[in-house]
Structure 1
Amino acid sequence: MLTSVEQMKQLVTEAIDLGQNGKIRDSKIALRKIYQILKKDPFILWEDIMVSQLGKSIIMMIHWDLLEEEEENIGLALLSYLYISKGIKREENLNSEVDLCELFRLRKDRIILLKSCDDSFVDSLISFYFADKKATNLDTYNEQRKAVLSRLPYLQLSDIYLIEQDYPNLRNDEFLLELANYIESDHQDFSNENLKEAFLLHKVLYQQIYANLKDGKLIY
């Protein structure tokens, strides 16, 4: 009989494989089971090598509208970010030689998440940038929202930058090349200070989401 961890790993593999082979309906069945398990134990694969794949499966949940409530989908995006980032940290901290192909996959997954679910990160970034200036009306909130949305491409560019250190041509990945050109054309003044800011934001997001999940404050 499979343990709960083994069952979860099997479901994640199944959901991703089915989805990548165009069997969306069958993949959704596995994804719903994954979601039900996560509701009970979001840390079930926290120390497992497949934690990042769990994050990838959550991206599929979001893209295929598995849940209807906006707040829950925002929570799923944050959860996916946490799991993928955990996978990145795990790879970077391995005592053995780093698997560059795996790091490429993980960073690309995080870029895809940040690009496709940018709105989901707005409130988290507002709480960081405007911690002492909480919006008291809609106009102020919209101004803050606009400000942090302008920072989200920095997060994507920082991951692209790290990929470029290993693969100067981004492995000729069409998605990454087009995205890099698009962001750089809109942010021609992107500087080393902006890069440092992006690295800091990644750390802040990771710590913030982890703390909220651990304290039961993350709705998903």
Structure 2
Amino acid sequence: MNDEAVIFLNNLLQQEPSRVQSWLNSVWEDRQQVPINFNWLGLAETAAFKASDLASKSEEYRQSSLIWAQIAVLVYNFLARNRSNGAIRESLIESLMNLRLYMILQLGARVDDPVLDPALIISCFFENLEFSYEDTLAKASVWKKLFRDNIPEAISQKLESDMEELRSLKKLKLRLGIIKTLLENNRIAPNQVLQAWVSIWENLP
């Protein structure tokens, strides 16, 4: 990252969130140039931190918190769409889901809001599923039995052949935990599909 990009980002983050949001809109509309090697991830992470920090404070900070969160959501989505590296993309999606969860818990759910609508978390979860419910249930059962039996040789062989599957199931458990938290805090209405998925959370490795 060059010095110009670093200085620009630092100055940008000192502005009011509404001004940062206006700058970002200008960039999307090709009315504003961005420095070479601009640190988009740094912008997203700092905006998310500011949003989370302000959301936990008094009512007067809530609007600023929400604007910072909107900025973070826009940039996380932009980065996720433009990342070919699967692991990086998955990390961005999880950051986005966790930010939305925290903001919803702090500020409440709000339909059609780009940050506070729980439906966006639900759709993100289902759009990025790697396995069907039935396949997940079967795979989770195999891993649970494997670890319960605790036979080192069998565990070693399974890890060698199916490590990616284990990673995928662990990732699924993290995301299911977000859905579970929304349900437990009455931020979304329960339905059969969601409850079925959440019911297998504790069986996932």
Range into which the TM-score falls when normalised by the shorter chain: 0.3 to 0.5
TM-score (norm 2): 0.46
TM-score (norm 1): 0.44
Greater relative contact order, per chain length (Cα 8 Å cut-off, separation 6+): 1
